[in-house]
Amino acid sequence: MGALLPCNVVVRRKSSADYTTVEAIDPQTMVQLSSTPAVRDVADDAGTRLREALRALAAG
């Protein structure tokens, strides 16, 4: 669990590209691996923070 939460993010760019791709796994997918309420809380918080970070990156 600790390796999967709060998130996994991939940043990639081809040498010929003029843009960078940033991808993140939705932390809610990890909630299915545990019935512990604390895991859901961490996944909720991580998801909120990831969405905010991705929006900020997209806005430049």
What six digits make up the tokens of 53? 């970070």
Q: What is the DSSP letter of 29?
A: H
pLDDT of residue 4: 56
What pTM was computed for the model? 0.71
Size (the chain), residues? 60
If you search the block for the tokens 């309420």, which residue do you land on?
Answer: 37
Per-residue pLDDT tens over the stretch 11-56 = 999 999 999 999 888 888 878 877 788 888 888 888 899 899 999 9
